[in-house]
Chain A
């Protein structure tokens, strides 16, 4: 076969799923992005586990890692159809219908728009990875004191009644997204970060403080582990944000770029403020700042240019530093600062999207029904939409999480026994210890 024949044969290579022509480049990209997003969760496990005392290293790791099992199955059975089932009928703006229970039909159907179809199986798995890590994020609030049994029940219910409906509102054709309020959330500022932070706040309130909180220094037991975890999160976040374009195109490229720039600027933002306030730049500050920058850019990636991306990252790094400090004034024991980092960063990013979204920088803004932000001549219209989505996400997730926690408390009790908390949850809940010396 000569070269001309080979070229002709390649050009004719057409793959179809469910009568649609599959875009091979997009599909390959999305499979890789899906794996990248999954990898964020073990990264999160390390990030969190390094910050707790060594008697709780396994318990904290297990919170995230267990979500890879539990949330995946719940997502496949019921979560996906609530989030991405059909929108017909009066309930359509709030939850998807139940045609895709058990991922029914996704192997024979395509997802996407003309020219950018991928197998729906790939899309369903990509979205499932978001659900996994969102549950993992919450666990930082109740580290070192929640019964594992209570966590498992809480997580299962939360995915079904909080995460999946919110994903539907924003991305599944529901009332907050392009078919309704037209709030812009590229990769999960509301659905992932605000939702997890609001649930985290509910957990911190319902569970109360750790036994030693405020009386003894609770030192992170292994910061190199935390830094490696932050690095893995940064790496996986490329799949999270660039993949949220669901195609290989200019917007995916720009989302990729601003994701990196915001992480870098977030690291610097936190460090600069910390250095000025305490005279020392800390490694935990660098790791936290990078994550804060990534959180801040999540809703805006794909809608903003490079310089706004850096500004959002830097502002998120600095704002989250103060967000964490304020926690100590309120007296909540949000152990690993889910509210301070994901709540503050996610809220800042969602609002910043209403300031910096640019139709000139990205076709995705108009495609999703958005307009230019306040700083790009669009007036306050998009900003108001963003504020609506922020309030809705905080209120819904916080209130429903409180109710779930109350129910779980009545069923099995949320709080570990004082003796278990004293010895450590590794031994009490898992019959293991992380370090044998």
Chain B
């Protein structure tokens, strides 16, 4: 199993979700996050004073998938989150050691 964590632009979430659903990814966890990478922050203006806001709002998606669809899932996220502009985000993939469905006690890929 692989865990994929993707930081993307908030308005791309729906497209990414549809693409992952189409691949058969059964669930996901999404959170609102703030951060910066090479994009750095942006400027906001309040009553004539300009402030640099370092942390830009993003969405973090976490999914765990079977090894055989991991690469496809990764690609689906990349293709659908891309706007070709700075600040599109990143995708991280990790090995996942275990999974348990709490209701039934199923373990491993069965639990996904």
Interface residues of A (CB under 8 A from B): 217, 219-220, 274, 277-278, 280, 282, 284-285, 288, 321-322, 324-325, 328, 337, 340
Check if A284 sits within 8 Å of B49, measured CB to CB.
Answer: no
* Residue numbers in B under 8 Å from A337 (CB-CB): 47
Q: How far is the CB of A324 from chain B (nearest CB, A)?
A: 5
* Residue numbers in B under 8 Å from A219 (CB-CB): 44, 46, 51, 53
| A328–B49 alpha-carbon span in the complex (Å) | 8
User: B55 — nearest CB in chain A belongs to which residue?
Assistant: A217
Residue of B44, B49, B51, B52 near A325 (CB, 8 A) is B49
* Residue numbers in A under 8 Å from B50 (CB-CB): 278
Q: Is B102 an interface residue (CB 8 A)?
A: no
Check if B45 sits within 8 Å of A278, measured CB to CB.
Answer: yes
* Residue numbers in A under 8 Å from B45 (CB-CB): 274, 278, 280, 282
Check if A321 sits within 8 Å of B48, measured CB to CB.
Answer: yes
User: A341 — nearest CB in chain B belongs to which residue?
Assistant: B47
* Residue numbers in B under 8 Å from A220 (CB-CB): 46
Q: Provide the B68-80 mask, 1 if CB < 8 A to any CB of A, else 0.
A: 0000000000000
* Residue numbers in A under 8 Å from B52 (CB-CB): 217
Q: How far is the CB of A204 from chain B (nearest CB, A)?
A: 15
Q: A220-B46, A277-B48, A284-B46 are in contact. List 13 more A-B contacts (CB 8 A).
A: A217-B51, A217-B52, A219-B51, A219-B53, A274-B45, A278-B48, A278-B50, A284-B47, A322-B48, A324-B47, A324-B48, A324-B49, A340-B47
Known: A217-B53, A219-B53. A325 touches B48 (CB 8 A): yes
| A285–B53 alpha-carbon span in the complex (Å) | 19
| A322–B49 alpha-carbon span in the complex (Å) | 11
Interface residue ranges of B14-49 to A (CB < 8 Å):
44-49
Check if B47 sits within 8 Å of A288, measured CB to CB.
Answer: yes
* Residue numbers in B under 8 Å from A324 (CB-CB): 47-49
User: B48 — nearest CB in chain A belongs to which residue?
Assistant: A325
| A109–B75 alpha-carbon span in the complex (Å) | 83
User: A220 — nearest CB in chain B belongs to which residue?
Assistant: B46
* Residue numbers in A under 8 Å from B47 (CB-CB): 284-285, 288, 321, 324-325, 337, 340
